[in-house]
Amino acid sequence: MSLQDIRAMRIARTKPSGVVAVVVGELPKAYRGAQAAIELKPGCQPQLMDWRPLVGVWVALYHVKTDWPVMDAAVKALDAAGAKLLGFAQNGEGYPLATFENDTDKNKAAQFLRRELEALCQ
pTM value is: 0.88
Buried b (16+ CB within 10 A) or exposed e, 28-62: beebeeeebbbbbeeebebeebebebbeebbbbbb
Contact 19, 86 (CB under 8 A): yes
Q: What is the pLDDT of residue 79?
A: 94
Q: What is the pLDDT of residues 102-111, one digit of tens each?
A: 999 999 999 9
pLDDT of amino acid 34: 58
pLDDT computed for residue 18 by the predictor:
87
Q: Tens digit of pLDDT for each residue in 34-71?
A: 568 899 998 899 999 999 999 999 999 999 888 899 99
Q: What is the pLDDT of residue 89?
A: 94
pLDDT in tens, 3-36: 888 999 999 999 888 899 999 988 877 776 656 8
